[in-house]
Amino acid sequence: MTRSTESGPPIQPVYGPGDLAGWDPAAQLGEPGAYPYTRGVYPTMYTGRPWTMRQYAGFGTAAESNARYRQLIAHGTHGLSVAFDLPTQMGHDSDAPIASGEVGKVGVAIDSVEDMRVLFDGIPLGEVSTSMTINAPAALLLLLYRLVAEEQGVDPARLTGTVQNDVLKEYIARGTYIFPPKPSLRLTADIFRYCGAEMPRWNTISISGYHMAEAGASPAQEIAFTLADGIEYVRTAVTAGMDVDAFAPRLSFFFVSRTTLLEEVAKFRAARRIWARVMREEFGARDPKSLMLRFHTQTAGVQLTAQQPEVNLVRVAVQGLAAVFGGTQSLHTNSYDEAIALPTDKAARLALRTQQVLAYETDVTATVDPFAGSYVVESLTDVVEEAAVDLMRRIEDLGGAVAAIEHGFQKAEIERNAYRIAQETDSGERVVVGVNRFRLAEEEPYEPLRVDPGIEARQRERLARLRSERDGRAVEAALSALRKAAEGTSDNVLYPMKDALRARATVGEVCGALREVWGSYVPTEAF
């Protein structure tokens, strides 16, 4: 029986030379580290050193997350990746009524520079690479990070890392938006310009397909919608007067890695090829670094199960292998217990050990792009590319990514695919081990890690103390300057924003000042 790929077209039982008829290795494959970058963005890939092992963590208070980061560094992780709680992601302080019950639950609560100082206490920011999964208020968290680095005496030109800063996918699949698209894109362009002048080694955006995939997007939809968002960001920056080669080398991407290993490898290769072509042909980029699609990968949390959670160790290993075969620049491997609760210390350590086994006990790092020339992978790469390009054309026909979002196009396409997956799972056509086949009569007991319910009260106390001790007039003056910059169109809002945060304005107060000027986004229903 012929199976279908996750993107829709069939995957054949046998592939051979006929499946690559008309295939041009020079044009479609090239050499590693050379256009069109199908084989990877660097000539040597992992033969020189492995990918960055960047474990995503953050929960409860800044002090608790700091302890987890220190453990991860001690166990050999190469980079930190910060998860923020929902109030922080939505630009609310921990003592806001809307934050009740959510403080510290899915990430760390950061209300001010004082929390950020605790979060990185004892961690030398000039020596680690830090990724921050934050979008609508990305500028605030980036500036808080810089302020703490300055307190440590670190030159901002030395800081390395990434701020996700991808608000367009929030309108499509995730929902942690604050402002409407137009001012959000302005804020993104201001971050590009600010980092170009102040933090030249910092990756200014991580254009994300991961969350769309978690919402149900197929591999082709994931890269199509992600690259379309990337095109919108580049157009915004170019329209704002920036030279494409001045900011494009610092763009990065973020994708999921599923258990369907062959198609995932093809997906990553297709994405590199499409992006290189778009940047060269549409935007006229000349710097080879502007053509490179560099990306971080996280294994597929949506494919993990609460039933028989130890089986997730196998899933994560396969997903991690797919990301490595696909040429990722950095990788987070999920903990096996994430479908139940926050990862325990042991589970987080095992997730990191999975990457270390792949890097140091297998031979996958011995050669560049081991699937190059494979009949099945090259054929699937072409299939995924064709499907993704077709979706990107449909977005362009609607007027680009923002116009398509306003039409509800991407959201509707993802929901249709998610419904198909749910139907196949419910019918048993799609096998999920431990869920609809190979089940246990009774699940084994498991003791999850739980967040202390007293965190919210302690954060409220910290905020009350902060507001009583700071210079209130200085805070209001700084927020007033921020509002004035936001009302205009020429000023970079990050400079007055930094002044407000240095004066110990809170995340909620800064976002509130911008809401007064820009308003809040009201979503459009998908058609």
Mean pLDDT to the nearest integer, 357-371: 97
Mean pLDDT to the nearest integer, 374-403: 97
Of residues 40 and 27, more confidently modeled: 40
* Token digits of residue 386: 């064709």
Q: Residue 247 and residue 250: Cα distance in Å, rounded?
A: 6
B/e letters for 179-196, b = 16+ CB within 10 Å, e = fewer, are: bebebbbbbbbbbbbbbb
Of residues 511 and 106, more confidently modeled: 511
DSSP 193-255: HHHHHH-TTEE-EEEE-HHHHHTT--HHHHHHHHHHHHHHHHHHHHHTT--HHHHGGGEEEEE
* pLDDT surpasses 80 at 527: no
* pLDDT surpasses 90 at 317: yes
Q: Which of 15-24, 224-233, 256-265, 427-436 has the lowest mean pLDDT?
A: 15-24
Radius of gyration of the chain (CA): 23
Q: Residue 367 and residue 165: Cα distance in Å, rounded?
A: 34
Q: Which of 6-10, 78-82, 236-240, 425-429 has the lowest mean pLDDT?
A: 78-82
Cβ partners under 8 Å of residue 410, min gap 6: 172, 173, 212, 221, 225, 395, 401, 404
Structural domain including 100 reads 3-427
The answer to whether position 337 is within a domain reads yes
The answer to whether position 439 is within a domain reads no
* pLDDT surpasses 60 at 491: yes
* pLDDT surpasses 80 at 448: no
Q: Residue 274 and residue 432: Cα distance in Å, rounded?
A: 32
pLDDT band at 88 (very low <50, low <70, confident <90, very high): very high
Provide the sign of the torsion angle of the four alpha carbons 29, 267, 53, 259, taken in this order: negative
Specify the CATH number for the domain of residue 289.
Answer: 3.20.20.240
The answer to whether position 500 is within a domain reads no
Let me know: does 208 contact 253? Beta carbons within 8 Å.
Answer: yes
pLDDT of the residue at 76: 87
Please identify which residue in the block is written with the tokens 């690559």. 20
The answer to whether position 464 is within a domain reads no
Let me know: does 368 contact 40? Beta carbons within 8 Å.
Answer: yes
Mean pLDDT to the nearest integer, 205-214: 97
Q: Residue 170 and residue 133: Cα distance in Å, rounded?
A: 12
Mean pLDDT to the nearest integer, 487-503: 97
* Tens digits of residue pLDDT in 169-205: 999 998 999 999 999 999 999 999 999 999 999 999 9
The answer to whether position 486 is within a domain reads no
* pLDDT surpasses 90 at 433: yes
Query: Residue 469 gets which letter from DSSP?
Result: H
- The secondary element (H helix, E strand) that includes residue 129 is strand 129-133
The answer to whether position 287 is within a domain reads yes
In 249-379 the beta strands, taken as DSSP E runs, fall at 251-257, 295-299, 330-332
Let me know: does 277 contact 229? Beta carbons within 8 Å.
Answer: no
* Token digits of residue 475: 């805070």
At 76 the three-state DSSP class reads coil
* pLDDT surpasses 80 at 73: yes
The answer to whether position 169 is within a domain reads yes
pLDDT of the residue at 525: 59
The answer to whether position 494 is within a domain reads no
User: How many domains does the chain contain in total?
Assistant: 1
Let me know: does 181 contact 223? Beta carbons within 8 Å.
Answer: no
pLDDT of the residue at 382: 96
